[in-house]
A = this chain, B = another copy of it.
Amino acid sequence: MVGARARSVDSPEVTTRAPLPRPAAKRLSLYLRECEQLLIENETHVSSEVLAGRLGLTASQVRRDLAYVAQAGQRGVGYDIRGLLDILQREFGLARDWRAVLVGVGNIGRALLGYAPFRNANISIVAAFDADPGVVGGTWGGRVVRPMSDLSKTVRDQRVELAVLAVPGAAAQGVATELAAAGIRGILNFAPVRVVVPPGVAANTVDFSTELRRLAMGVAQMSQDNGADADGRKAS
């Protein structure tokens, strides 16, 4: 009853690309990051082997992934970094700007307000919100914290597409529901719960305590079953 993956039986119009496997999709952002870095290092081309080495993947994995999104390589030469970067950015919708709100100005929220990489991803935080009256009105990272009661209106009026959710776990689902109702398109959730959102809204969770435990588990496992790193992938 689930399996409705776009098997794309036969659509005549669109250039029917083979569907991107999910693990491959996750890796695309790594290629993007590495291309940026390589440009900084004044490289113009890169081989699947070098890219793989820098990211801890295999060369054939890189080639297959990149072949899904673009025939951007040149045989005997490698991938043109500039061109690959353009394609990946288009794929990621990063050719445009994204407006985001931050909800929850606690420890994590404050760190995120001052965090540079948002700029890098063409994402600008247009407003910050908090439920605590003691925090509302204060200024962090150059932005005045507004009350939760303004949230929906702001999202709607300013056509905000993304939200960074840094509220306590118990509050996360409620805020997510409100955001979705106000028309948000994507939520990056830092609370240690899964947030359920209606179709058409994307939600990803980054949970520090889960990450910590995965690390601890990796260490604990390695004490017996030696050799691989915590991702289970062999170091070169």
Chain A contacts to B: CB under 8 angstroms: 2, 4-6, 8, 14, 22, 25-26, 28-30, 32-33, 37, 54-56, 58, 91-94, 98, 107-108, 110-112, 114-115, 117-118, 120-121, 123, 161-162, 185-188, 192-194, 196-204, 206-220, 222-232, 234-236
Contacts and interface: CB of A to CB of B under 8 A. Distances in A.
Contact of A121 (B185, B216, B223): B216
Given A117-B192, A188-B215, 20 more contacts: A4-B234, A6-B228, A14-B224, A26-B214, A29-B210, A29-B214, A30-B210, A33-B207, A33-B209, A33-B210, A33-B213, A91-B217, A92-B213, A98-B216, A121-B213, A162-B215, A197-B235, A199-B235, A202-B229, A206-B211
A55 B205 CA distance: 11
Given A121-B216, A123-B216, A194-B56, A208 B4 contact: no
A161 B32 contact: no
Contact of A120 (B58, B204, B209): B209
Given A93-B219, A200-B226, A201-B229, A212 B121 contact: yes
Contacts of A37: 193
Contacts of A203: 229-230
Given A108-B111, A117-B192, A213 B2 contact: no
A-B CB proximity, top 4 nearest: A93-B220, A202-B230, A117-B209, A111-B111
14 contacts: A29-B210, A33-B207, A92-B216, A92-B217, A93-B219, A94-B213, A94-B216, A118-B212, A120-B209, A162-B215, A197-B229, A199-B235, A203-B230, A204-B215
Instruction: Choose among A26, A187, A231 the residue with the greatest number of B CB atoms under 10 Å from its CB.
Output: A231
A98 B111 CA distance: 25
A112 B93 CA distance: 30
Nearest to A236: B196
A40 to B, nearest CB: 10
A219 B202 contact: yes
